[in-house]
Amino acid sequence: MKVFDADTHVLEPMGMWQEYVEPKFRDAAPRLVYDEKNIERMVIGDKVMNPGPFSLGGIGIPGGMADPVISTSTPYEKAYPGGWDVTRRLQDMDAEGVYRQVMYTSVGLFFGGNEEPKLMGALCRAYNTWVADFCKQAPDRLFALAIVPLMDIEASLVEVRRAVEKLGLKGVMLRPNPYNGRMLHDPAYNPFWRELEGLGVPVAFHEGATGNVPFAGADRCKTNPGVEKPDHLAYVFSHIICHPHEQEIAAMQMICGGVLDRFPKLKVGFMESGSGWIQYWLHRLDEHHEMLPHFMPELKMAPSDYFKRQCWIATEGEEADFDSVLRYVGDDRVVWTSDYPHFDCKLPGMLEWRKKTDLSEAVLEKLLWKNASALYGI
């Protein structure tokens, strides 16, 4: 059975920004510095993007954050080589039994909160061109999603056309968080959703647990007063909270805010947040639609029906009560992902969960191949 990994990551080499970014923006492009505690930081413009108690390198190593030394002292250039080396990536894919991957950005997860749209636009263009070149080294096996500066809608329209039509990228990744305070169901985004629908490519929401954008529960994830040493709990809390909660909010806005009704052919993916929440959340949305229909006048169907028509959700395959999720949303609406090569990727053994499942071959074929092919149009 062929396997299609629907959400992996590249680790962008820092040197590529100077090669691919337009000259007038190169001084502000991502770069690495060391702080007074000798922890490596990424800087964009004049802003430090990773102020937590760890270095960037540990995030890009499978299992790396579990080791206190690796998580705080590994430089980015020593992160897992499969993140930027195609040969190593393909070797890992072959060893794990994975034929295709769709790749998402790593550094670009920090781009949603910067208030300089022209700089963000230049960085998005540079990344999209670079990752398209990366995919060309294995064109039948490696695919990628574009990133866009959504705080500038006109620039995003231009870039998504270029990324899809000229570079061959397979959709757009967005953070589910607000871009400059604007909610996803804001009518200002209608031209952008219309463009994606017309191009026939999906939008995939992917949270990043970065502190430079607002996220749900951020006020509960701050270092406690009086804590002198790095408060690792603050990062753990933020990572636990923001991934599912921001996706819940995104699903609510896209469905109950009428986006999917207005754009019935728009495809939407919810990535790297687990799948268990979707069953409870859709039931809750359905309840509110039933009890308060006049508050959601655009909706012609129950919220869960919009999801089952246009959306997909990702799983790593090891979640509790996974069978129930498949029954509720449909076994054609779930894709499998590994998060390779980030710290929560299980390598080796990313597909070991298959030995413990009693899912039928037909359902596994959908989960591991057909559903991702449908989402990305590959």
pLDDT tens by residue, 21-60? 999 999 999 999 988 878 888 999 988 887 777 788 888 9
Q: Which pLDDT does position 232 carry in this prediction?
A: 74
Cis status, amide bond into 225, omega within 30 of 0: no
d(CA 92, CA 103): 14
d(CA 263, CA 83): 35
For 4, phi then psi, to 5°, come to -120, 110
Element (H, E) at 314: strand 311-315
* Tokens matching residue 201: 């490519």
Task: Summarize pLDDT for 198-218 with one digit per residue, the tens.
Answer: 999 999 999 987 767 777 777
d(CA 369, CA 378): 10
Q: Which pLDDT does position 48 carry in this prediction?
A: 86
3-state secondary structure of 272: coil
What is the identity of the amino acid at 205? F
Q: In this model, does residue 331 exceed pLDDT 80?
A: yes
Q: Is the CB of residue 58 less than 8 Å from the CB of residue 71?
A: yes
Q: At what angle do helices 276-291 and 322-329 cross, to 10 degrees?
A: 40
Give the predicted TM-score (pTM) of the model: 0.95
Element (H, E) at 371: helix 371-376
For 141, phi then psi, to 5°, come to -120, -25
CA distances from 164 to 66, 152, 227 (A): 37, 18, 48
Q: Which pLDDT does position 3 carry in this prediction?
A: 98
Write down all domains in the chain, each with its CATH number in brackets: 82-376 (3.20.20.140)
Cis status, amide bond into 139, omega within 30 of 0: no
CA torsion through residues 240, 346, 207, 269, sign:
negative
To 5 degrees, how large is the angle CA 318–CA 308–CA 100? Answer: 50
Q: Which pLDDT does position 72 carry in this prediction?
A: 82
Whose structure tokens read 């655009």?
298
Q: Which pLDDT does position 26 carry in this prediction?
A: 97
In the predicted model, what is the mean pLDDT of the chain?
93
Whose structure tokens read 């039931």?
283
Q: How many CA atoms lie within 13 A of 96 on its CB side?
A: 28
Residues above pLDDT 70, as percent of the chain = 97
CA dihedral 258, 261, 264, 269 (to 10 degrees): 40
Sheet-wide strand order for 172-174? 146-147, 172-174, 203-206, 268-271, 311-315, 334-336
Q: How do strand 203-206 and strand 172-174 relate by DSSP bridges?
A: parallel
d(CA 84, CA 77): 10
Q: In this model, does residue 355 exceed pLDDT 60?
A: yes
CA distances from 166 to 132, 182, 226 (A): 10, 29, 53
* Tokens matching residue 207: 């949270």
Q: How do strand 334-336 and strand 311-315 relate by DSSP bridges?
A: parallel
Q: Band of the pLDDT at 229, cuts 50, 70, 90?
A: low
Q: In this model, does residue 95 exceed pLDDT 70?
A: yes
DSSP 265: T
- Residues 335-347 as b/e (b if ≥16 CB within 10 A, e otherwise) read bbbbbbbbbbbbb
Q: Is the CB of residue 236 less than 8 Å from the CB of residue 302?
A: no
How many residues belong to the chain? 378
- Which runs of consecutive H residues, i.e. helices, occur in 267-368? 276-291, 303-310, 322-329, 361-365
Sheet-wide strand order for 100-104? 4-9, 100-104, 142-144
d(CA 79, CA 57): 5
Q: Band of the pLDDT at 225, cuts 50, 70, 90?
A: low
Q: In this model, does residue 309 exceed pLDDT 60?
A: yes
